[in-house]
Amino acid sequence: MKVKIKKPTGGQVAIAILLLLLGILMSMQIKSVRQSNELKNLEKARAIELAEQINQLRKENVSLRQQIYDLEKKIKEYQDSAASISKTTELLKEELDKVKILAGLTDVEGPGIIITLDDSKIPAQPNVDPNSFLLHDSDILQVINELRAAGAEAIAINDQRVVSTTEIRCAGPTISINNTRYSAPYIIKAIGDPKILKNSLEMRGGIIDLLKEFSIEVKIEEASKVMIPRYNGSLKFNYAKIKSEGS
């Protein structure tokens, strides 16, 4: 016996189509939800990763700030040390310059006086020692001592710098200064307060009055700038040594 299959009606076909569409929509919805959840998980993971990176950058920033602080501190200490060294060096240079001036080892200039001394031009008189009218080493020494007492900071005789080892002594008709012989006239230059230096020489009963009594020619000039050369001889000490501490 043959079974007779009924053809679906229009309503059944419509329902089937609706069910198919509903299944497709549900499948798409499920897929969209899954994709949304996956995206949220990725965003969450990315947020966690970014937070970790930010924390790491903060730590590195703190470390860099500390390094900058340490470097700035070292630079400040170096600058302070360099300034201290520079100041110390400057002070040492000033002291060295003073020592050089006192030792006569450098050319100097400054205000002062220029003294010209020459033998008397008066003809020899009978019954009078002619040497009394000539300049002697003792006369020069007295002038130098007077200048030193008046505060002269540098002295030269005929451009021979007067230092601690300078000898001024008679050598026949000449005077030996730093082992070099000179005859009159003698030009003495001194750096210091011009008025004080001049007044010390010209005080009543002083060396200039004494020289003028024997008609020794004396000329004293104040000058705003006096040039005095350095000592060109050698300074050698065979016996004097610097005393060591504790000895």
pLDDT band of residue 17 (cuts 50, 70, 90) is confident
pLDDT tens digits for range 23-47 = 777 777 777 777 777 777 777 777 7
Q: Which residues of 221-239 are buried (b: 16+ CB within 10 A; e: fewer)?
A: eeeeebebebbeeeeeeee
How high is the pLDDT of residue 152?
Answer: 95
pLDDT at 246 over 70: no
Distance of CA 115 to the CA centre of its chain: 38
Q: Which two tokens stand for residue 48?
A: 């966690």
Helices 137-149 and 194-202 pack at an angle, to 10 degrees, of: 130
Mean pLDDT estimate for the chain = 84
How high is the pLDDT of residue 13?
Answer: 67
Q: Which residues contact 99 (CB under 8 A, 6 or more apart)?
A: none
How high is the pLDDT of residue 7?
Answer: 60
DSSP structure string for 178-227: TTEEE-S-EEEEEES-HHHHHHHHHSTTSHHHHHHHTT-EEEEEEEEEEE
How high is the pLDDT of residue 219?
Answer: 96
Query: pLDDT over 90 for what percent of the chain?
Result: 36
Q: Which two tokens stand for residue 6?
A: 């009924």
Class of domain 108-228: alpha beta
Residue 8 dihedral angles phi and psi, to the nearest 5°: -65, 145
Query: pLDDT over 70 for what percent of the chain?
Result: 92
**Average of per-residue pLDDT across 3-10:** 58
How high is the pLDDT of residue 10?
Answer: 64
pLDDT band of residue 86 (cuts 50, 70, 90) is confident
pLDDT band of residue 189 (cuts 50, 70, 90) is very high
155: left (phi over 0), alpha (psi -120 to 50) or beta: beta
Where is 111: in which H helix or E strand? strand 108-118
Domain layout of the chain by residue ranges: 108-228
CA 144 – CA 201 distance, rounded (Å)? 10
How high is the pLDDT of residue 247?
Answer: 57
The answer to whether residues 203 and 143 touch, using CB atoms and an 8 Å cutoff, is no
- pTM to 2 decimals? 0.64
Of 21 and 73, the one with more pLDDT: 73
